[in-house]
Structure 1
């Protein structure tokens, strides 16, 4: 592209120089020739007037008198009636420019000048024109190179930016070139880079969330299948298979929820459900894991609470909290339900050392973890809670207490709606 721009600019300049240069040469040549002819004519008239004045004054007309009057390469012949011609200067050889003037006393004056003087003057003029043309060509080449670099370099940068976008590097360059059209292309590429970066971030986040959220259900499902393979009792096999099918349904719900990545309770995803059923389901699924670790998981608090949300999402939030207590906590894990205002609260606590003070305010941020874990679980759990119109908070750091707040529907009877918080039976 640089070569084409330089060639095109140089071609335009050469055409302009050729058109105007040739015209200028022709005009200047004619002007110089006419000027030389006018000089010779003027010189002949001047000498004729001198001869007239001397004849009228009865003075002699000799070559010595006019020797100082005829200078340069000019040659003059003065013809006076009754006298031999008077020659002044050296007669030129070759082509000449001449002019003849007649005086009042009948004398004639012929002045000649060699045409080589005109040729030399035309040559000097052509040399000046050629130098100017050469300077114009050099200036045009420099300007063309500058303009070519100004246009080609941004295009090269834009091509590299597009190539980087295609290779998966969506960083915007925010570089502008002072050319409106190229800056517009740069704006579009930067906007595309930002959109691609957002899409890649969303895809990576989805992959990380899916990996984390699917790990626990798949582990629980594999444990159920292992128990099925180790028993020969039909009733136990049927019971475990039923639980496994329930877990498969929950696993499907997790996948669908991760793909949508957002829900609005007004769309119908949020429903009124029995909070006890979700809690008991989690206790049944996590009890084997806690038993294997030599620990216990219990529940207490207000019973028969109904909450508004997505049962599968609430189950995933509780699973994240229970898993967090299993990995980072210690002792017995307790799930306690209570009511505050028009909200149902599920508190998850354990007897471990709690959350370090430096992580307390950042515990729900992604990649923040007290140990060598992904740091995704609590962040995803909070997103799921907020998507259902609830919230997930850390109520206490030592011992750790996490609270899941969900909207609840008023009970049908006043006695049920005003029932105070009472602890329920411990379930192991």
Structure 2
């Protein structure tokens, strides 16, 4: 916008200056020419007074410009010059001016005892244009200075419009990224201030809608937990152990799916937060270490001493870590070792969970979900958590066996 406004002002200023300076330049040229011709006419008239007197030659010499006097008998006094048509016309008693090679000639007729004499004063082009080029150059410099000044002023005025608009764009990007606390500062022209206030109102309305969604999710959680608990009790009361186990497994799968849906809904409705990744991972590893000790699993933990802030809320990151560690316990045999490593990266923080189990099936690696009886919800939760912070998820099977999951979390702003 600043460029277009600058071009518009430059074009408008240039048109105005052309309309003003071109006539002024022509006027300066006309004034210079008229001055030169007036001085030449005055010189010719001063010589005409001496026509017919013995002082004619002295009068011609005293004029500081080329003067020729054509006498009635055909003779000349002063600088030699040919008798042109204009000289013959002036000999009839008329004073005229005419174009000549290299300038103009002023012809004044004067009566003498022998007839009509013609005084010719030559005005060169240099004298006709004396001072005109300098004046034109001054006008050109003035015009360019005015154009530059207009562009600078237009740029300063454009900043008053573009700076608030850029601020609105940054706030809208923050809102799109999940930062619902972002607000625009009204400023600039009234129209831009109106847009800023409308954007702030929209952001507040989005926050209200998300709060209502969180309440609906909480209500949904309570409504679904009750019938699931009833189904679980009904399954446990069945007399056939095989049938009870089968129904119990279905209830467990349904409960995991419902929990994942509720967790995802809460994650979407919650505003984008931040937390100390080292503290959250350390606390969740400590929680799972009790179960690992019961199953005889060796747990290797590599966490930095200092804080590692990431652009993920503490509850969301805890759910991600629980999903990854839960997959290890669910899909590797008891006694299989695992390691958890957290290290800073230029673009964020890298969380690596590795185990010595059977690893991932090649076909499932391409889809980014785990194998076995897993529904893939655990890795899907981890992937969405990473992507919400600006990072990503990578799963692989190392050459020495096992499975490795790497979650890149974006750094907190």
TM range (shorter): 0.3 to 0.5
TM (norm. structure 2) is 0.43
